[in-house]
Amino acid sequence: MLIDKKTKHMKAGVLASGRGSNLQALLNAAKTGSLGVRFVGVGSDNAEAEALGRAEQAGVPTRAFPLALFSSRQEQERAVMFWFEELEAELLILAGYMRILSERFIRDIGCPIINIHPALLPSFPGLNAQRQALTAGVRYSGCTVHYVDAGTDTGPIILQQIVPVYEEDTEETLAERILQEEHLLLPEAVRLIAAGKVRLEGRRVRIEREA
């Protein structure tokens, strides 16, 4: 694993499509110096994404990759991959990125990719996870940070946090309560990875206990 010689921190890139609240949680955590990463770039498939503005305010390089500017999805992904390779990213974080990455991208990017999902995987993968939870009538949902593989939200699970589902919950209220936990869980997962505490054995993630 390469370490940034200047900061002794892992170099991390982020992909986000929307308002970037999980990105902001990461940026806030990085300010304390305890996260163990330096953000080298934030990319988006949406040129108007609020996440890009948040990154710029934090002094992190940004780039937009709207699909309309490319001849194909493959060309778009190639541009994204080359950019993060130029930035020497050692970890790629999906923080509300609304496009499914191809198997080729995942294989060729050359660094681990992690994602945050608003459900307790393997339950309720894909879109509208909160609606799925309410429809199923579960009493608990939550959020999951996992490694990205070729499936949809099927990669090895790193961390999870439980969130209760109340009788009066709507999609919006449940989503907001889960999001609050996402803002804590994603930085913690990144911190553990940067500290070398996370080990992948097949499909099982082992986390080293801290003193």
**Quick check: helix, strand or coil at residue 115?**
strand
**Per-residue three-class SS string for 26-63:** HHHHHHCCCCCEEEEEEEECCCCCHHHHHHHHCCCCEE
Q: Which of 9, 117, 146, 183 is catalytic?
A: 117
Burial 118-140 (b: 16+ CB within 10 A, else e): bbbbebbbeeebbebbbeeebee
| Residue 117 a catalytic site member | yes
Positions annotated as catalytic residues are 117
